[in-house]
Structure 1
C-alpha cells in the first residue's frame, strides 16, 4: 500500500464545533495541485458542516508552515493550459477561504514562502510564532505573486506587498508581518501559539453563527470579483512559468 504521508495529505478533525484542517507534505509543506484541490474541498466541506462553528487552518511539522508551490510540479508543466490550471489551485483555495461562511483562524508555526503567504493572508485571523518569517519568492524564479497578491495586499497594504514582491530573495520577520497586519499576534513557541489558537477557537465556537457569518461577509466586501480576478492572475502565471528563465531558475534552485 502506498504511504500517503510521502505524497502529502489533508486531515480534518472536528471537535467541539472546531474543525481543524491540517495540510502536510514532506517537501516543507509545499502544495502540489492534488493537495490544493483537497484543501479547497476540505475548507468548503467544513464551511457547510452545520456542526462546525469555526475553522483552524494549520500545517504539519514544526519548521515550515508552507513552502508554496511544488517545484517538481512547476517543472513538469509543458503548456499554458496546465500552467494556468496549477495556479488556479492556489486561487481556488484562497477563494474557498474567502467564501467560507465560517471564520478561519490561521496558525503559522514556521517559515512561509510564496503561496503559503497567500494562504495565511486569506485566513480571517492569523497567529504565528517568532519563527514565522515570510517571503514572496516568485519574482526570483521569473513569475511574480500574481495569484496571492490580492489576498496579501488586502492584509498588509499595497506598499508592504510591493516590498515583499520586489525583494523576492529576502525574508521579513514575523514581527514585521505583525506590524503590517498579516499576523494578529506572535508567540515565542509553538506551544503558546497552539494554546492561543485553541482559546480563540473555543471562544468563537460559543459565539452566534449568524453574527459571525454576517461579520465575515462585510469584512470581505469589495472582493466579490475575485473569482474572475484570480482566474486572470492565474493565466499570467501560467504563461510565465513556461519561460526559459523560470525553468532555468527552478532547476538552479533545485540543484543547490
Structure 2
C-alpha cells in the first residue's frame, strides 16, 4: 500500500509477517504535518493488522535518516493554534508507536536531527550505521525538544538527554548513541546492517505474536500519561515557535 502526500510519501510493504514502513521527503527526510499524519495513520492500521507481527521503520535513500520538523512549515506558523497543531503531529506519531501492538524496529542509516532522534527513541530496537550521528538542535533555533523529550529520556536517561539538548550545535556520534542506549546495534556499512536486520526480523517474526505484544506492553509501562503530557509539551513548542528569536534563527538556518 502507498499513501501519497503533496511532497514526500509514506510507503508500506508486508513480507513474512514484517511490515516495512518507508518515509521520504526531499528535504533530508524531514516531516511536514501531512507526513506526520500519514505515518500516524499507517502505524494505527498496522497495529490492528493480524497478518503483521512486527514493523520496521526506515527512511528512503542513503543520506540522512530524518532531519526532524519541516523548516518551511515551521516558518509558516503564525498563530498558537497552528503551532500547537504542528507539534502535536510529532506527539501523535510517538504515541502511535508507544501504543502500537507490534514491536517496532528502527533502521537508521544516517544522521538524525530533532524529531528524527525522537522517532529512533520511540522504536523498540534500533539498527544503525556508524554514520548515524544525532543532534538535538532545537534550542539553537529558539524552541526545545519538548515533545520528544519523554521518548528520548526513556531511552538514554536524563543525563545524556541534557548533554544532547544543551550541546545544540554539536553532533554526537553513533557510538555515543549506542553507548547511551539509543541504538541497539551499530554497523560499519549499510550492507552489514541490512544483513543483520533481515536475520533479526526473520527470527523475531517467528515468535509467538501474543508474547511479542505482551513484551511491548511491558517495555512501555508507566507511559499512559503521555496521552496528556506530549500535547502539553506541544503547546509549549507551539508558543515558542512564534517568537522573533525563533523566526530569525529558522531563517538563518534555512539559508
Q: TM over 0.5, yes or no?
A: yes
Gaps of 5+ in 2: none
User: 1:20 and 2:20 equivalent?
Assistant: yes
Alignment of 1:64-83 (within 5 A): 64-83=64-83
Secondary structure in 2 aligned to 1:51? coil
* Distance in 2 (alpha carbons) for counterparts of 1:194 and 1:23: 17
Which digits, 9 at most, give the CA deviation of each residue in 1:79-137, with x for residues without a partner?
00000000000011000000001100000000000000000000000110000000001
Post-superposition shift, 1:5? 8.1
Match of residue 163 from structure 1? 163
RMSD across aligned C-alpha pairs, in angstroms?
0.9
* Distance in 2 (alpha carbons) for counterparts of 1:194 and 1:86: 33
TM-score by length of 1: 0.97
Gaps of 5+ in 1: none
Post-superposition shift, 1:6? 7.3
* Distance in 2 (alpha carbons) for counterparts of 1:6 and 1:239: 27
The total of aligned residue pairs comes to 252
Distance 1:5 1:235, change over 3 A: closer
Which digits, 9 at most, give the CA deviation of each residue in 1:158-187, with x for residues without a partner?
000000011001000000000000001100
Match of residue 198 from structure 1? 198
* Distance in 1 (alpha carbons) for counterparts of 2:38 and 2:246: 27
* Distance in 2 (alpha carbons) for counterparts of 1:6 and 1:200: 34
Alignment of 1:129-140 (within 5 A): 129-140=129-140
Secondary structure in 1 aligned to 2:65? strand
TM-score by length of 2: 0.97
Secondary structure in 1 aligned to 2:58? strand
User: 1:208 and 2:205 equivalent?
Assistant: no
Moved over 6 A (4+): none
